[in-house]
Amino acid sequence: MTGPSRSKDPEGNHEKVKGIFREIASDYDRVNRIISLGQIDRWRHRLVSIMDIPEDGTVLDLGCGTGKLTRLIADKVSDGKVLGVDLTPEMLEIARKSLPSEQEEVVEFSLGAGEDLALQSNSFDLATSAFTLRNVDDLTSVISELRRVVRPGGKVYSLELAKPDFPGFREIYRFYFDRVLPLIGGLVQGDSKPYRYLAESLKKFPDQYKLQDLYRSAGLAEVGFHEIFGGIAAIHQGTKKEH
């Protein structure tokens, strides 16, 4: 499933992101459960339920982190392959240690960056990511890479935090991410700075409507999204054109 790498990260954003996630890797899943009010695993299950995963399919999980989504996908794939790619070695170490023995023939983990995937074109049935896109500089480039590596007719999915429209709820949501999230992260993990970065990254991240437009800009068709939990999160999907 590998191919030649084509570019490097000249601005050093990869090193910044790796440093942040290296610092929080050991507490990543525990803190995420707390700050999502126990919803994050439900959201991952919802994503997998929407994905049309063939039993003999090949699936890419970009930004796989500790492998939680990768393992859920592998539960649906009996005769195929699931590749989890992440930028941070410490996250992949946890993912490998957490992999059940019965999934070892199905799942592979690899270091890589979404802007320049060292993977052959047209080599996956599906490509997905969860809480990954807001950590990249060039969203269109990453989505285009996901489109490139799936076969014609294949689908690209992403699960990301979104921005609620409902007045009142929208303001509570912003207050929670600006003030409460870094506080909780600091109490649980011992350092609030990584979680301040996560809050800031969400501010800069496009809302679900703009992300939908970026899917189209990247050349995907049949683009749409499903909001979760009142618009706190959204699942986007698009299809690679047959021709």
Distance CA 132, CA 13 (A): 14
pLDDT of residue 7: 43
| Predicted confidence band of residue 224 (pLDDT cuts 50, 70, 90) | very high
The pLDDT score that the predictor gives to residue 46 is: 97
In a domain, 57, yes or no: yes
* The two structure tokens encoding residue 122: 């047209």
**Interatomic CA distance for residues 30 and 182, integer angstroms:** 14
Structure tokens that stand for 68 in this block: 């939680």
Percent of the chain topping pLDDT 70: 95
Please indicate, yes or no, if residue 35 is contained in any of the structural domains. yes
Tell whether 219 is covered by a domain: yes
At residue 11 the predicted structure's pLDDT band, cuts being 50, 70 and 90, is low
Look at residue 5 in the predicted model and tell me its pLDDT: 35
Task: Name the DSSP letter for residue 54.
Answer: -
Q: What is the pLDDT of residue 9?
A: 47
Q: Looking at the domain assignment, is residue 154 inside a domain? A: yes
The total of structural domains in the chain comes to 1
Q: Tell me, what CATH number does 39's domain have?
A: 3.40.50.150
Look up tokens 């052959």; give the residue. Answer: 120
Q: For residue 46, what are the domain limits?
A: 13-162+206-240
